[in-house]
């Protein structure tokens, strides 16, 4: 057995990669575990090798950073300092006496499970997109904004010929630019937020000229592709019988109401829609880590309150790739020091900590400005499905709340089955909370992935024998 301390990093996105590099360079034996077939995470998702992309950078920003991460990973893997396990879907991290067991299902079938043992764990699992329901949102052709981008980056495919990009948040601009560059006609970018609201946060904005420049660059690219941008507008409905044929776009007034008579129809065969992102917190929850709202709570060194468990990147709060990089670097340095029974020198991560502070402040503003429009709940028709998996319409949720007195997401779930399907409530939880008028809460899923019963039965000392986890 190796003398070197062992770290398991879950997630090979910007946060996990940079942490793995920092720790491996300081004598830690790292196992990098990710569900995807290649490293990169969401931001640096790569086209499959067989597609022979000779200029993959055309789909990316900050390509130089990616080259450094990619080459650094390859060098550490060659030197035996990092083991990179691809297509490993972690469903549970278990605390053992003095170490951890990371249980992963082998993809894509996910029928076999393996365990990786480590002295410390970094949760760098990123997040997923939040979409609030509206009439027609289950029609084929309606996809998440990030999902359209992910399919494009990895498979070099488009959801259709004519797309509308809609919702709110900083992801919409890069997605619209990506789709247009790849040849889709982007008929409209519909953003519900009012960019003038940024003016109220002038001090924070002034501290981030780079972010403003980034926004301006995207705006210029959109103009170049002839994409019309409609701010303070929303998609009120998607239309079609078996697949999307058009969306209705409408202007919003300052109270979040649709301006009467402002609606118009935009023919399109795809709608890329998103209302922000949510962190993946399941693994942290099973480990007993404290959450802060919907984020994994961490200290200055990116440590969770469970000894031996760190978290970095969007699992600890949504803030884009640059923030994930800063947090990952701090986590990697902290882990290397702590596993060597040292206290990390703050000066060693001062630059990253400064970047982290600034970016967190910036994204707190983005979060305030880019909230889903007020009154979205009122536009969810009674027959609109809220839970896509269990096909639970808004009427059932409203009945559970108004007539049966359900006051929280859990009770609504028990009464309606909303959130009991395959996705374990990841897709509908924010909508159920909105309709029930209660704050979104942590989900308490037993596992981060649906686990075949055969796998649970084969694990004599594993989580299956721990009734508290089931």
Partner 1 sequence: MPRTPLRLVRARPEPSFTVTFDDRELAVLPGQTIAAALWSAGVVSWRTTRGSGEPRGVFCGIGVCFDCLLTVNGRPNQRACLVRAEPGDVIRTQEGTGHHE
Ligand X SMILES: Cc1cc2nc3c(=O)[nH]c(=O)nc-3n(C[C@H](O)[C@H](O)[C@H](O)COP(=O)(O)OP(=O)(O)OC[C@H]3O[C@@H](n4cnc5c(N)ncnc54)[C@H](O)[C@@H]3O)c2cc1C
Q: Binding to ligand X by residue 313, rule CB under 6 A?
A: yes
Tell the smallest beta-carbon distance from residue 442 to ligand X (Å).
16
Task: Give the span between the Cα atoms of 131 and 149, in whole angstroms.
Answer: 15
- Asked if 294 and 322 count as a contact pair (C-beta separation under 8 A), the reply is no
Q: What does 148 interact with, of ligand X, partner 1, none (CB < 5 to 8 A by kind)?
A: partner 1
Residues 395-434: x where in contact with partner 1 by CB under 8 A, - otherwise, as a string: --------------------------xxx--xx-------
- Determine, following the binding rule CB under 8 A, whether residue 147 of this chain makes contact with partner 1: yes
Q: Which does 419 bind (CB under 5 to 8 A by kind): partner 1, ligand X, none?
A: none
Interaction of residue 430 with ligand X, rule CB under 6 A = no
Binding characters for partner 1, 9-38, by CB under 8 A (x = yes)? --------------------------x-x-
Does residue 147 contact residue 275 with C-beta atoms inside 8 Å? no
Q: Work out which of 94, 119, 129, 214 binds ligand X, going by CB under 6 A.
A: 129
Taking CA atoms, 419 is separated from 148, 389, 391, in Å, by 24, 8, 10
CA torsion angle 416 419 422 428 (round to 10): 120
Nearest approach, Cβ of residue 148 and ligand X (Å) = 9
- Residue corresponding to tokens 């951890």: 100
Phi-psi region of 52 (alpha: psi -120 to 50; beta: other; left: phi over 0): left
Q: Are strands 127-129 and 120-123 parallel, antiparallel or unpaired?
A: unpaired
Pick from partner 1, ligand X, none: which does 34 bind, CB < 5 to 8 A by kind?
ligand X
Q: How far is the CB of 89 from ligand X (least distance, A)?
A: 5
**Contacting residue, 31, 46, 125, 281, with ligand X by CB under 6 A:** 125
Q: What is the CB-side half-sphere exposure of residue 362 using CA atoms within 13 A?
A: 19
Phi, psi of 249 (to 5 degrees): -110, 145
User: How far is the CA of 64 from the CAs of 61, 76, 337, in angstroms?
Assistant: 9, 18, 28
Of the residues 20, 23, 31, 41, which one makes contact with ligand X according to CB under 6 A: 41
In angstroms, give the least distance from the CB of 65 to ligand X: 12
- Quick one: 58 or 404, whose CB is closer to partner 1? 58
In 106-233, which residue ranges form alpha helices assigned H by DSSP? 145-155, 172-181, 202-206, 209-224
Write out the two tokens for 166: 């809609």
- φ, ψ for residue 288 (rounded to 5)? 90, 15
Residue closer to ligand X by CB (options 321, 427) is 321
Of the residues 9, 22, 23, 35, which one makes contact with ligand X according to CB under 6 A: 35
Question: Hey, what are 109's tokens?
Answer: 């079938």
Dihedral (C-alpha) 271, 273, 279, 280: value to the nearest 10 degrees?
A: -20
158 lines the binding site for partner 1 (CB under 8 A): yes
Residue 280 touches ligand X, criterion: CB under 6 A: yes
Site residues for ligand X, 134-173, by CB under 6 A, read 146-147, 149-150, 171
Integer Cα distance of 140 and 159 in angstroms: 10
CA distances from 142 to 130, 149, 159, 282, 372 (A): 14, 13, 9, 27, 18
Q: Does 42 bind ligand X (CB under 6 A)?
A: yes
CB 124, min distance to ligand X, A: 5
DSSP state, residue 39:
S
219 binds, among ligand X, partner 1, none (CB under 5 to 8 A by kind): none
CA gap 357, 299 in Å, rounded: 12
Nearest to ligand X of 20, 35 (CB atom)? 35
Q: Closest CB to partner 1 among 291 and 423?
A: 423
| Shortest reach from residue 175's CB to ligand X, in Å | 6
Residue ranges in contact with ligand X by CB under 6 A: 10-16, 33-36, 41-43, 89-90, 124-129, 146-147, 149-150, 171, 174, 280, 313-314, 320-321, 324, 448
The contact set with partner 1 (CB under 8 A) reads 35, 37, 42, 47-56, 58-59, 107-109, 128-129, 138, 140-144, 146-152, 154-160, 181-183, 242-243, 388-391, 421-423, 426-427
């Amino acid at each position: 057995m190796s003398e070197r301390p062992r770290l398991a990093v879950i997630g090979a996105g910007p946060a996990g990669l940079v942490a793995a590099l920092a720790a491996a360079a300081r004598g830690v034996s790292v196992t990098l575990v990710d569900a995807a077939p290649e490293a990169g995470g969401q931001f640096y998702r790569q086209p499959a090798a067989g597609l022979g992309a000779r200029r993959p950078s055309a789909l990316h920003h900050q390509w130089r950073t990616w080259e450094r991460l990619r080459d650094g990973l390859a060098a550490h893997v060659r030197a035996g300092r990092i083991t990179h396990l691809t297509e490993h879907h972690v469903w549970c991290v278990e605390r053992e006496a003095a170490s951890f067991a990371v249980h992963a299902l082998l993809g894509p079938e996910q029928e076999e499970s393996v365990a990786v043992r480590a002295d410390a764990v970094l949760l760098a699992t990123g997040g997923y997109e939040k979409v609030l329901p509206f009439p027609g949102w289950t029609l084929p052709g309606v996809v998440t904004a990030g999902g359209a981008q992910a399919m494009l980056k990895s498979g070099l495919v488009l959801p259709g010929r004519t797309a509308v990009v809609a919702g709110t948040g900083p992801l919409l601009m890069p997605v619209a630019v990506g789709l247009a560059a790849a040849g889709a006609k982007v008929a409209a970018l519909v953003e519900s937020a009012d960019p003038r609201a940024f003016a109220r946060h002038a001090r924070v904005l002034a501290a981030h000229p780079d972010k403003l420049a980034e926004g301006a660059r995207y705006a210029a690219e959109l103009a170049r592709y002839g994409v019309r941008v409609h701010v303070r507008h929303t998609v009120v409905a998607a239309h079609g019988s078996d697949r999307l044929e058009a969306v209705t776009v409408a202007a919003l007034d300052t109270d979040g109401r649709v301006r009467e008579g402002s609606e118009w129809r935009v023919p399109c065969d795809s709608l890329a829609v998103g209302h922000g992102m949510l962190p993946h917190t399941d693994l942290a929850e099973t480990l007993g880590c404290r959450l802060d709202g919907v984020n994994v709570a961490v200290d200055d060194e990116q440590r969770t309150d469970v000894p031996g468990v760190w978290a970095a990147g969007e699992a600890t709060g949504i803030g884009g790739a640059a923030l994930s990089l800063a947090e990952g670097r701090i986590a990697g340095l902290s882990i290397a020091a702590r596993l060597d029974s040292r206290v990390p020198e703050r000066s060693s991560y001062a630059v990253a900590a400064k970047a982290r502070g600034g970016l967190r402040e910036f994204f707190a503003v983005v979060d305030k400005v880019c909230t889903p429009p007020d009154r979205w709940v009122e536009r969810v028709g009674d027959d609109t499905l809220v839970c896509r998996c269990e096909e639970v319409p808004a009427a059932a949720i409203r009945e559970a709340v108004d007539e049966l007195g359900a006051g929280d997401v859990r009770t609504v779930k028990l009464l309606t089955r909303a959130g009991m399907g395959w996705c374990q409530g990841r897709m509908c939880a924010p909508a159920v909370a909105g309709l029930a008028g209660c704050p979104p809460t942590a989900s308490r899923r037993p596992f981060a992935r649906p686990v075949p019963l055969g796998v649970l039965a084969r694990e004599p000392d594993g989580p299956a024998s721990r009734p508290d986890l089931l």
